[in-house]
Amino acid sequence: MRTHNLDSAVDSAVGAGAPLVIAGVTGPDATGYLHAAGDGAAPDTVIALYSATKAFTATAALQCVEDGLIDLDVPAKEYLPTIGELQVLTDLGDDGAVRTRPPVRDITPRMLLLHTSGLAYDMFDRRYAILARERMRHPSATPLRDSITTPLLHDPGERWTYGTSMDWMGLLIAEVRGKRLEDVFAERIYAPCGMRSTSFDVSPAMRERLATVYRRQRDGSIVPTKVSPPDVPELDMGGQGLFSTVPDLLALLRVWLGDGMGAHGRVLQAATVAWAVQGAPGVEVTPLPSAIPALTREADFFPGARKSWAYSFLRNDDDVPGGRRAGSLTWAGLANVFYWIDRSSGIAAVWATQLLPFFDPVAEQGVAAFEHAVYEGLGR
């Protein structure tokens, strides 16, 4: 692999305005490339994963399926009664007044993994954004739990809607395992993968290496945010709550790149991986509109290309010209943390910064340039 071209792609993104970039490429057995540039960035810099957390939660959910603790097609309320209380939104006033009705069917664990539950995110839906503003006007002692206790936008199973499904899956996993989600991950993912700096908690050692999250202002300038995560969160948010490093994230991607093995033990059965990487029939992935511009621009992954949803990743159903092969898995995190798993080519990669809003042009262009350099180095 031509590391000079990879270094140049990473450094160019920083030169174009990204506050920092940490990028890495791994094969089935070990990381083959790792480079950091920008604001104090180092290979072991701790970053907020945001929705890249979902890969961990999906892995833990499938472990529960293997252990017979979760049946994907029974009502999720059989494991977690509170999810059965969610109603379908029928009307929402500008003042946040809500009208709902009971759903025509129950949410299942499969729907949570596939994002067909009807749960959404406020940044991608105007109605949810209104509800979020109302919550901010009436703060409570449990803001994270409040943020996921929201009405469904449609009946469960009706269509793909990206949202808080994996946060609920995290609660479900904790319930059936009888322990905190952090402890489940520590035992069943961090340890067998050899991860040293991944947690929902921010220890003093991790905080010393924690990257600042930056925000692009309306005038185009980029400034640091003043948000500091707590040492221990109110709730382990399985859809968005982890802090980690690029090497640790690459260690999880190797589980999915191969046959489910981590560096220090099996994480998933090979048959589970082979099944889970297939796209679910009939699940159409649609563009993500922007309802809160400070958090996200409109996000359309691979416009015009065929794509589906696997358990629980976006799946490329076509080759990307000059890039990943059909069948590759991918997703991202809000602060522009991107990864992909190309099982056909035998590589997985991470390109990460800490910049809002999501799909900022410097990140969108930076990860594309990095991917092109990766495959150019492979002789593609």
What average pLDDT does the segment 84-92 reach? 96
- Is residue 96's pLDDT more than 80? no
| Helix extents (H) in the chain | 3-15, 54-66, 109-114, 126-137, 143-148, 165-177, 181-185, 191-193, 204-207, 246-257, 270-276, 361-377
Question: Torsions phi, psi of 252, nearest 5?
Answer: -70, -40
- pLDDT for residue 95: 73
> Which tens digits make up the pLDDT trace of 261-295?
999 999 999 999 999 999 899 999 999 999 999 99
CB–CB of 123/162 below 8 Å? Answer: no
Q: Residue 361 has which token pair?
A: 């042009």
- pLDDT for residue 26: 98
- pLDDT for residue 1: 58
Q: Residue 217 has which token pair?
A: 């202002």
Q: Is the peptide bond between 312 and the residue preceding it cis, with omega within 30 degrees of 0?
A: yes
Burial degree of 304 (CB within 10 A; 0-12, 13-18, 19+): exposed
What average pLDDT does the segment 20-28 reach? 98
Pairing relationship of beta strands 88-92 and 98-101 according to DSSP bridges: antiparallel
Using CA atoms, how far apart are residues 335 and 293, in angstroms rounded to an integer?
13
- pLDDT for residue 37: 98
Picking from 69, 51, 330, 57, the residue whose alpha carbon sits closest to that of residue 188 is 57
- pLDDT for residue 14: 98
- pLDDT for residue 217: 96
Using CA atoms, how far apart are residues 178 and 172, in angstroms rounded to an integer?
10
- Is residue 3's pLDDT more than 90? no
In the chain, % of residues over pLDDT 70: 99
Sign, CA dihedral 41-242-147-87, equals positive
Q: Residue 175 has which token pair?
A: 């319930």
In the chain, % of residues over pLDDT 90: 93
pTM value?
Answer: 0.97
What average pLDDT does the segment 323-330 reach? 98
CATH H superfamily, domain 3-69+183-377: DD-peptidase/beta-lactamase superfamily (3.40.710.10)
By annotation, the residues acting in catalysis are 51, 54, 162
Using CA atoms, how far apart are residues 22 and 11, in angstroms rounded to an integer?
10
Q: In the beta sheet, which residues pair with residue 48?
A: 243
Domain residue extents for the chain:
3-69+183-377
pLDDT band at 380 (very low <50, low <70, confident <90, very high): low
- pLDDT for residue 2: 66
> Which tens digits make up the pLDDT trace of 203-253?
999 999 999 999 999 999 999 998 899 999 999 999 999 999 999 999 999
> Which tens digits make up the pLDDT trace of 330-370?
999 999 999 999 999 999 999 999 999 999 999 999 999 99
Burial degree of 228 (CB within 10 A; 0-12, 13-18, 19+): exposed
